[in-house]
Amino acid sequence: MRKQASVESTAEAYLELLAARGVEYFFANAGTDFAPLIEAYARRSAQGHARPRPLTVPHEVTAVGMACGYAMVTGRPQVVMVHTIVGTANALGGIMNASRSNVPVLFSAGRNPITEAGELGSRDRQIHWAQESFDQAGLVREFVKWDYELRNFGQLETVVDRALAIAQAEPQGPVYLTLPREVLGERQEAFEYSDPARAPRPSALAPDGETVAEAARLLATARHPIVITKALGRDPAAVPALVELAETLGLPVFEQAPTHLNFPQDHPLHAGFDPAAGVAEADVIIVAECDAPWYPHLRGPRPETKIVQVAVDPLFSRYPIRGFHGDVALAGAPRLALRALADAVTPLLDRAVATERRERLGARHAKEREARAARTRALAADTPIDMAWLSHAIGEFIDERTIMVNEYDFDQSQAAMRVPGSYFAASPAGGLGWGLGSALGAKLAAPDKTVICCVGDGAYIFGSPTAAHFVSRAYDIPALFVVFNNRMWNAVKKAVQTHAREGWAVKTGAMPLTELDPAPDYELICRASGGHAERVEDPGKLHDALRRALHAVREEKRQALLNVICKKP
Ligand SMILES: Cc1ncc(C[n+]2csc(CCOP(=O)(O)OP(=O)(O)O)c2C)c(N)n1
């Protein structure tokens, strides 16, 4: 159907189209390049058009995080718009994260005015000469699927629809659109477009029957098959498909540095978070959406072990190097591949073998959980608080309506999360600062859920906390932030310890460049934006502090922060 809207500028037509395409939020960090858009927003608002809702996000790290959090929960891309080359540069770490985590985002930036005079929007500020680069998109091109500069009004619909369609096509990821001020500011009277969009939306792909049959034959005769996964749960529908396959075969499922909820953690076939022993023993390994299932430098599978790769893109084509084998590679939507595999393997299966494995693994799972619980209980009174105990305490408050955003220190093995789409961890690209914004985006996407964001003290600082707490208050987005405060960058320290096990740093205890002492009173940063915030040092008071913080978030509808003083490793 064709639709017509009365508009005064290209910028207004752009907003009209984004709204029509279901974009709900416009996460913006504005500059002089935004003038036509702000003007267009003012007109739309005067006429009662609320979408896409503009949110002022005073740091790009937070803005990209929010768009990622929203898309991770809903699967729908939102718009982030930043200021020219400088805003793009600030946002880049977040875009790298989104790229490697396959999060669709319409990332956009104003373009310095092109013309020196003569057009509405031409250069009229001191920065307008120096703030131009030869190739603005070149700053991000390696980490976006597509980039383009809007050249004129006539191509607006094609460009926006193409951007949104490419971001959402598998493998999903961010796209980048630059918007010159002259084009945005151009006078228009009317805008006509198709509604719904007519850009092609590629269907999900399924692997061919012959390759599925080959994988099924390998699995049917395997004695010690295992699964290793990291990001399968990006598609929540893939989780029950993996459960079905695992139950059919009696397959242990290991999660390797998971970024999503891939398999219910209380399921008897959940084999934990360290696949090393399983890898050494396995004769067939299903690598399901996992970029680095083991570290060949340390220890890999035996040479005769067969590897089945299951992924949207089993080559991880955008990674310069990834040498993990794939004797069989099932490309396409993993939910379809895994279901097809379960169907194909069922008639070939020796049921007695599968049953024996299921029972043995189930007993082991129960024993390991008990042993872990006992180890954690022994830490209950440790002061400063042990991170495992903190994770355990948080785990006790996680219910079916909780979303966990974890940037590093929450130890998943201490909880028993089971709802697909309820857990998100930092991207393997490792750009710190993702957590706070992502938690806010997740809460925007799921206002009825409780969002708990666990961050290290390092990750908290990288997340531009002043901006995040500002946004939480300004737009009523209450989340609980828990700072695992060990007053250091332990990840960096651990790298030194494994790099030189008996070296100078280990022997002398000197670890320059890893300390975050004296630590700020992080609770004051949250309180400055009206949040409920506490410092927690006594492990015996942790549960009550969590209760109060969750009450603030759920009942008072305001953000909360616990600055938990943790043991230094
Ligand atoms: C943008 C960016 N800068 C630096 C790093 C390197 N880095 C990886 S982990 C880490 C420390 C994280 O500290 P914290 O959040 O306190 O967790 P901890 O390591 O103490 O558990 C750093 C600095 C990074 N990943 N990203």
Q: What is the pTM of this model?
A: 0.97
> Is 495 a pocket residue for ligand 1 (Cβ < 6 Å)?
no
In this prediction, residue 407 has a pLDDT band, given cuts at 50, 70 and 90, of very high
Q: Which of 489, 498, 516, 565 to mutate to test the pocket of ligand 1 (most atoms within 8 A of CB)?
A: 489
Tell me what the mean pLDDT of segment 510-529 comes to.
Answer: 96
The CA 433 to ligand 1 mean position distance, Å, reads 9
Averaged pLDDT score across all residues of the chain: 97
Interval 292-315: pLDDT, tens:
999 999 999 999 999 999 999 999
Name the closest-CA residue to atom 11, ligand 1: 489
Q: Is the CB of 371 under 6 A from ligand 1?
A: no
497-501 average pLDDT score: 93
Question: What residue owns the CA closest to ligand 1's atom 21?
Answer: 490
User: Does residue 61's CB lie within 6 angstroms of at least one atom of ligand 1?
Assistant: no
Task: Give tens-digit pLDDT for 154-205.
Answer: 999 999 999 999 999 999 999 999 999 999 999 999 999 999 999 999 999 9
Count of H-run helices and E-run strands, the chain = 20, 19
Atom of ligand 1 nearest to the CA of 407: 15
165 CA to centre of ligand 1 in angstroms: 34
Across the range 246-274, mean pLDDT stands at: 97
Q: What is the pLDDT of residue 512?
A: 93
pLDDT at site 517: 94
Q: How confident is the model at residue 52 (pLDDT cuts 50, 70, 90)?
A: very high
For residue 432, the CA-to-ligand 1 centroid distance in Å is 6
Identify whether the C-beta of residue 88 lies closer than 8 Å to the C-beta of residue 149.
no
Query: How would you label 133-151 residue by residue, b for 16+ Cβ within 10 Å and e otherwise?
Result: beebbebbeebbbbbbbbe
The whole-angstrom separation of Cα 493 and Cα 513 is: 9
Residue 331, pLDDT score: 98
Q: 334 near 289, Cβ under 8 Å?
A: yes
Closest ligand 1 atom to residue 486 Cα is: 20
Query: How does residue 569 score in pLDDT terms, banded at 50, 70 and 90?
Result: confident
Give yes or no for residue 459 CB within 6 A of ligand 1.
yes
Asked whether 486 lines ligand 1 (CB < 6 A), one says: yes
Average pLDDT over every residue of 525-551: 98
Is the beta carbon of 431 within 6 A of some atom in ligand 1? yes
For residue 271, the CA-to-ligand 1 centroid distance in Å is 28
Measure the CA–CA gap between 6 and 323, rounded to whole angstroms.
55
* pLDDT digit string, tens, across residues 197-245: 999 999 999 999 999 999 999 999 999 999 999 999 999 999 999 999 9
Residue range 26-30: average pLDDT? 98
| Nearest alpha carbon, ligand 1 atom 16 | 458
Closest ligand 1 atom to residue 455 Cα is: 15
Which of the 8 DSSP states describes residue 253? E
CA of 459 to the centre of ligand 1 (A): 6
DSSP string, 63-131: HHHHHHHHHHHHS---EEEE-HHHHHHHHHHHHHHHHHTT--EEEEEEE--S-SSSSTT---STHHHHT
Longest Cα–Cα distance of the chain, Å, equals: 81
pLDDT per position as a tens digit, 426-485: 999 999 999 999 999 999 999 999 999 999 999 999 999 999 999 999 999 999 999 999
| Ligand 1 nearest-atom number relative to CA 516 | 16
Nearest-atom number in ligand 1 for the CA of 433 is: 1
DSSP 3-state of 373: helix
- On the question of pLDDT at 120 being above 90, the answer is no
Please say whether the beta carbons of 468 and 541 come within 8 A.
no
Q: Which atom of ligand 1 is nearest to 488's Cα?
A: 20
- Which pLDDT band, with edges at 50, 70 and 90, does 121 fall under? confident
